């Protein structure tokens, strides 16, 4: 069960992370362009349009990441926890 969930969640996590990073990049890039060219409508428009989707995608990435960590096969999880103890 854990292995099949891990196989499903791993690519979903990658896709969700890419979507989140693209949304965040476009949001910040549009605001920087608006700041450079002194266009307040671009700053406000980018924030109004992309802020909520970026926040929602960040929440989705966090939830999938949490589920992915809890679905790790026991061998990988044990090795990961031992590595944390050594630090």
- What count of other Cβ atoms lies within 10 Å of the Cβ of residue 71? 18
The model's pLDDT over 7-59, given as tens digits with 9 standing for 90+, comes to 899 999 999 999 999 999 999 999 999 999 999 999 999 999 999 999 999 99
Give the CA angle between residues 36, 38, 41 to the nearest 5°. 115
Q: Is it the case that residue 87 has pLDDT exceeding 70?
A: no
Token pair in block for residue 18 = 């890419």
| Its pTM surpasses 0.75 | yes
């Amino acid at each position: 069960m854990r292995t099949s969930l891990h196989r499903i969640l791993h690519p979903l996590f990658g896709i969700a992370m890419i979507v989140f990073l693209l949304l965040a990049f476009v949001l910040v890039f549009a605001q920087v362009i608006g700041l450079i060219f002194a266009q307040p409508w671009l700053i406000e428009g980018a924030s109004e349009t992309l802020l909520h989707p970026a926040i929602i995608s960040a929440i989705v990435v966090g939830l999938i990441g949490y589920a992915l960590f809890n679905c790790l096969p026991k061998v990988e999880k044990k090795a990961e926890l031992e590595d944390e103890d050594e630090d």
